[in-house]
Amino acid sequence: MKKQIPNIVTLLNLFSGCIAVILAVNSNFIAAAGFVVLGIFFDFFDGLLARKLQVQSPLGIQLDSLADMVTSGLVPGIIMFKLLAMSSDTPALVSFSNEWNSAMHWQGFQFAPIALLGFLITMASAYRLAKFNIDEDQQSYFKGLPTPANTLLIVSLPLIMEFQNNDLINAMILNTWFLVVLTLVSAFMLVSSVKLFALKFKDFSFKNNALRYIFIVLCVVLLAVLQFAAIPIIILLYIILSLFSQASIS
């Protein structure tokens, strides 16, 4: 029974992701974000429990990625699809051709074709998770942006719109060009081979974890000051600090 405890936690991640999918499809982004965060919480602790209980298994590794595919792959793709669909109905500083902005009707379902680009995030997430499962090097670092970090970036957009309530920021988020560029950058970072540090502590000494402690402190400060608007900045900071760390080593 002990060896199944981490797997149960992983399934709770999957369950949270399933609920988030339903909520995102119905444009309830705030509640969807809540269940995504809950799923990521379970995703963090299933591996920790497996290591502490010494019950790591190939089954657990595969199950973890399958759960992540829903919570951190499908959900952000749906949210980006929805945001792109919303942006096609709003005036933009630069618009795409009418062919891509015009709505398509399919058995009563109406959407802008450009919105389908949002699922590049889902496909890139699937590729990233599959690559992670067969790569034995990613123990103390990640190759490419981890799917949970990318998901937090995407789900932060509707949260910023809802709680920051800034007309300029809202207009930028609902700009089609901005969303398309963000989608492409997001998909690229997911499948790239850029080395990013992992928040895994082998011990709690400052000497061995200085970068991690600095990053955590900066995250707390940014969240306290900027609230949800801090999340995109934190993801960018994570990438910059990782590149700086790699440059200093080499």
Amino acid 249 reads I
pLDDT in tens, 215-241: 999 999 999 999 999 999 999 999 999
Amino acid 71 reads T
User: How confident is residue 1, by pLDDT bands cut at 50, 70 and 90?
Assistant: confident
Instruction: Give the distance from CA 219 to its chain's centroid.
Output: 16
> Per-residue pLDDT for 40 more than 70?
yes
User: How confident is residue 140, by pLDDT bands cut at 50, 70 and 90?
Assistant: low
Give CA–CA dist 25/74, Å, rounded: 11
**Could you tell me the sign of the dihedral formed by the alpha carbons of 82, 83, 86, 88, in that order?**
negative
Amino acid 45 reads F
CATH class for the region spanning 2-249: mainly alpha
Q: Where are the domains of the chain?
A: 2-249
Q: If you average pLDDT over every residue of the chain, what do you get?
A: 86
- Residue linked to tokens 């590049």: 120
User: How many Cβ atoms from other residues are within 10 Å of residue 66's Cβ?
Assistant: 15
**Could you tell me the sign of the dihedral formed by the alpha carbons of 242, 236, 203, 59, in that order?**
negative
As a whole number of angstroms, the longest Cα–Cα distance in the chain is 60
**Under a CB-based contact definition with an 8 Å cutoff, are residues 67 and 10 in contact?**
yes
**How crowded is the C-beta side of 156, counted as CA atoms within 13 Å?**
19
Give the residue, 247 or 174, on which the prediction is more confident. 174
Give CA–CA dist 108/38, Å, rounded: 34
Strand ranges (E), 48-173: 104-106, 109-111, 141-143
Rounding to the nearest 10 degrees, give the CA dihedral for residues 13, 41, 228, 212: -140
